[in-house]
Structure 1
Amino acid sequence: MIPLLDTLGIPPLAGLCTYDEACRPGYSVDETVALLKRYNYVKTSLNEFFATHIAHTPEWEVKCGFSLHLWLEAEHSALLRKRVTEMREPPHYLDTVPDERLQAFFAELIRSHTTLELLVGVYAVVKPAMIAALKQHLDRANPLIDHPTSRQLRVILGEEEEMVAWGRQAIAALTRTPEDVQVANAWEKHLSWYLATAGGIAGDQPAPESLPPTPRSDGSPYQADWIPQRDQRFVDPFNHAAKIDEYYQDETLPPDERVCALLYKRLREIDVPEWMGPIIARTRGKAWEYYHDMSRQLWDEARHAMMGSVGLYAKGVPFYRYPIDIKSSCSLNRDYEPIEAHIILWGIEQSLMPRETGKRWEWEIATAANDVLSTRFQDYDWADEVLHAQIGRKWLLPHFENRNALLAAWEELMKRWNTSLDELAVLSEQKEWWPDFIAEVRQHQGTELAERY
């Protein structure tokens, strides 16, 4: 019998577990590595899934959720990859398929047809299965021997649970009719069969006894729809009548109007995740660090657009009331190769770096207007954009002889892109709307002031 230890009343083993719990052998290194590789494959596949579907998923709130979750998948993959490299496993083979049956599951998942199916596949099938696998791993692993892995898995588990909570609410919101219920149930059953055939996330679950459903995949590469879509709330999406970039720079305009132009500029960044998703999904064979960096930038751009929506909310205007131009993402996704779209994005970021005309100036405009919330938005937007310019240089410069060659490529692409934008502009009557927008903002502010006093 093992004697009772005197630990002076202090939690033993750094508080990780009891001595009895530490006596459980848990997974071996090889078993742990095999599981981490499966988890990593799920994470990289979901990152590709979100990048593939962000543009053509019309609901703004789903675009926002997918943008965040795409970045979290990239973060989780980076954690898992780092841990595997610490566990004497060279070569690591982290970008190979660990199980063809898992690959078959993701070939079905990426072929989800509607937003409801997209949500059901991720948040009712694969993520609950991931949560179950992570909990099982944490229960079976030795909490002392493999604390570094357990710590990472707890971080991932917490964020998985947050993602599923959001996803379940989104599914409920889009399940409006008996037909929706039928579609959701059928797709959940379809995907669950393929995941069960793979043994679940960990590969240790029993195979289903039922007959296989007819697959949507025929084994050929998935042909994605890259054309951006927005839901019915968004009006006149090809309208660029309001000269937003001129308004915030115009020192003759009142400070509050210049700030409103900055807020709308932030909101307009809804198009950047729409064109970055296809860049990420269509660019193959890069080191994972590339997808991690680009996923972070995509999420930042989505955050900036959300800042704009919050800023308009604070001023009493729903973000979808007035046109938000879609021409940029539409033209880039339709007519440009991924590296071309990335070069255009990088060039825009570079143009925002000069002290006198760039992000610092935008922050100064908001500060001078005494708009505290907008100042905070610009403060963080400025910090993010410095990072984004660095990301662009990091991944684009190796394709060119020097920075001047990259700049020359950007200038040529901008000429072509401006023509593309002009071609799409004819899809709108270009009706002026800015005066109505400003009037609504000021009416709301006047009402708020009257109610306050």
Structure 2
Amino acid sequence: MNRVVIDNKGIPPLAGICSYEEACKPGFTVDQSVNLLKRFNFIAKNLNQILSAHLAAVPEWEVKCAFGYHLWLDAEHSAAIRKRVSEMREPPLHLDQDPDEQLRIWLDEAIRAENTVELLTGVYRVIRPEIVKALSQYIGNMNKMTEHPTYRLLRGMLQDEEEMIAWGEAALAALMDSPEQASIAEQWEAHLRAFLLAAGGVSGDLDAVVCEAIPRSDGQRYEMDPMPRRDERFIDPYNTSAKIDSYFWDENCSPEERAYSLIYKRLREMDVPEWMGPILYKTEGKPWEYYTDLSRQLWDETRHAMLGEIGLYFGGVPFYKYPIHMGSSVILNTEFSPQEAHLILWRIEQSLMPKHTGKQKEWEIAKDTNNPISLLIQDYDWADEVLHAQIGRKWLVPDYGSLAAMTESGDQAMKAWGQANVKTADWSEQAEWWPQFMEEIRANELARKG
């Protein structure tokens, strides 16, 4: 019931955010809001870590792609919440501490999924739906005017979460192709929900129930599996017979061969997110901005691999039909420290900055091939890599004292990596495949023109 009739000249009042009646609801106090935001932040942070820890080991390409995207969204959500909390009479201190011991135990179980079905069930059938439920409840009860910045933040998070859940449910439906897989999902969901009830739900507003489920966690930090994997569609992953890094430079190669060598080079970039996942998960104690920056870079590199996937689709070839080398991530993940792996990544990207030998030259080559997809891919790849080189300098220079010292260490790490990489060549018969690939590309082009 309206308290008074207001003459707004027919113009929606209060900037269209809500009605007068809605603006009069009590909503949440600042302290209540901060406490809830800290719980949301803790879950977003842990989701970023769960996906980082598993990205390399999950064998399904499409799951790797989604993890690369979603862990960046989780990092962004955490960063936005941290900023909002800092605006609410609460300095952003202690945001990395556990707001609730039972909440930590719940997420500690979720990261211990033992296969892709369990992992997707935990993240997309339990954790994210519970976040959506808590966000929706918060938005429904809040005063949208008094804490409008929070409303706007949570509304965006809610949309992201709903879109991620939709992907996860579709992926689960595809992977649960037997009663055994469906049973695995059902049992893992029940297991995690038991721990969630012990935490009183995401918002902590439910009566806690004693959890009788036997935990997988031993209370120690989860030890991730760093070994990259690809599923049965992918063949000969250590084959380096095709000199993909050379063909596009060779002016004796046809324009189409130069274009598709660049496209294939982008496809091969899946090894970068596979080696960045362990960097993100294993590196502890950095400011959250570090994890946000590296999550963005990981997503960009994932996107580059997907752009290569699209480029091969444009050429009429399934992206998994020919070898995609993964020896780099295998060696970096198993024989180098996270800091060494990050340093090598930066050194590679820094070497791509010179005008006549780096990303600009790759773009010029793509332009000359008259392949519109190759050109579009290279245009954005160039822009992204400039950002990535800056990210590396931002976070690594302080560790080495100067750019010169970092460059020297990077050169040494690159040399050690090159020597270690040699062993993966023996893991393949190195059968030549590039001519067959290009023959298929040319045949498809002729068929389209015909």
State the TM-score, normalizing by the size of structure 1: 0.98
The letter for the 1-side match of 2:93 is H
- Identity between Structure 1 and Structure 2 (%): 54
Give the aligned residue type for 2:42.
Answer: Y
Call closer, same or farther: CA 1:145–1:406 in 2, change over 3 Å: same
Q: How many residues align?
A: 449
Spell out the pairing of 1:410-425 with structure 2 (5 A cutoff): 410-425=410-425
1:150 maps to 151
Partner of 1:34: 35
1:444 aligns with 2:444: yes
Q: Distance in 2 between matches of 1:367 and 1:2?
A: 66
1:5-60: per-residue Cα shift (whole Å, max 9, x none)?
A: 22221111111111111110100000000000000000000000010000000000
1:206-245 deviation line (CA, Å, top 9, x unaligned) = 3347x62111112122121100000000000011110001
Listed as ranges, the matches of 1:3-402 within 5 Å are 3-90=4-91, 92-208=93-209, 212-402=212-402
Q: Which runs of 5+ in 2 are unaligned?
A: none
Distance 1:401 1:71 in 2: 29
Find the aligned partners of 2:187 and 2:273 in 1 and give their Cα distance. 30
Q: How far apart are 1:2 and its partner, in Å? A: 2.2
Report the AA paired with residue 231 of structure 1.
D
Letter in 2 for 1:44: K
Distance 1:6 1:68 in 2: 48
Residue pair 1:263, 1:374 contacting (<8 A) in 2 also: yes
| Alpha-carbon distance, 1:423 to partner | 1.0
Q: Conserved in 1, the CA contact under 8 Å of 2:34 and 2:88?
A: yes
Q: CA deviation at 1:401?
A: 2.8
| CA deviation vs aligned residue, 1:397-419 (integer Å, no higher than 9, x gap) | 11123212111111111111111
Distance 2:33 2:159 in 1: 20
Once residues 93 and 429 of structure 2 are traced to their aligned partners in structure 1, the CA distance between those partners, rounded to angstroms, is: 56
How far has the Cα of 1:91 moved from its partner?
5.8
Amino acid aligned to 1:160: E
SS of structure 2 residue aligned to 1:194 = helix
Aligned counterparts of 1:87 and 1:449: Cα–Cα separation in 2: 62
Q: Tell whether the 8 Å contact from 1:74 to 1:295 is kept in structure 2 after alignment.
A: yes
Q: Distance in 2 between matches of 1:83 and 1:31?
A: 14
Amino acid at match of 2:381: D
Gaps of 5+ in 1: none
Q: Give secondary structure in 2 for the equivalent of 1:426.
A: helix
The question of whether the paired residues in 2 share the 8 Å contact of 1:269 and 1:302 is answered with yes
Deviations 1:142-176 (A, max 9, x none): 01111010000000000000000000000000000
Distance verdict in 2 for CA 1:220–1:308, change over 3 Å:
same
Superposed CA deviations along residues 176-224 of structure 1, whole A, max 9, x for unmatched, are: 0011111110000100111121111111123347x62111112122121
| C-alpha distance 143-232 of structure 1, shift in aligned 2 (>3 A) | same
Equivalents in 1 of 2:218, 2:94: separation in Å? 26
Tell me, yes or no, if the aligned pair for 1:84 and 1:92 is still in contact at 8 Å.
no
Contact 1:247–1:261, Cα closer than 8 Å, also in 2 = yes
Q: Distance in 2 between matches of 1:2 and 1:162?
A: 40
SS at match of 2:427: coil
Give 2:46's aligned amino acid: S
1:416 partner amino acid? A
Give the stretch that moved more between structures: 68-77 or 402-411: 402-411
- Cα distance in 1 between the residues matched to 2:209 and 2:36: 21
